[in-house]
Amino acid sequence: MTTDQLTAAQKAVSDSFGSDYWDNRGWGFGVSIVTRRDDVSSVPGRFGWDGGYGTSWASDPAEDMVAILMTQRAGFPGASGTYVDFWTSAYQAIDE
């Protein structure tokens, strides 16, 4: 269940995360799924969870990578410079 399980109709009536959230995301079994690339770390097939207190984890099966960010700052991590820097650095560190 690491693939998007929501229908277009279900996404259309949900504005809990903002109007454009579902453009690039889906929902599997308890995890957020990236369905379309919109930045360096949002790779289709990546799944994970961003917590309300600044934590974030993701698994990227294509890169054989799991990464975890733990902070102690309340607030959605996607709006944090630390979050952006962490995930950008994680993907830049991949040795191809």
Residue 27 forms beta bridges with which residues? Answer: 32
pLDDT of 13 strictly over 90: no
- The answer to whether residues 28 and 3 touch, using CB atoms and an 8 Å cutoff, is yes
Residue 18 has a pLDDT of 65
Query: Considering only CA atoms, which of 20, 21, 68, 62 is closest in space to residue 44?
Result: 62
pTM above 0.75, yes or no: no
* Cα dihedral 56/60/61/62 (nearest 10): 180
Query: 30-71 pLDDT, tens per residue?
Result: 788 888 887 777 888 889 888 777 788 999 998 999 999 988
CA 83 to chain CA mean position, Å: 11
Furthest-apart CA atoms within the chain: distance in Å: 41
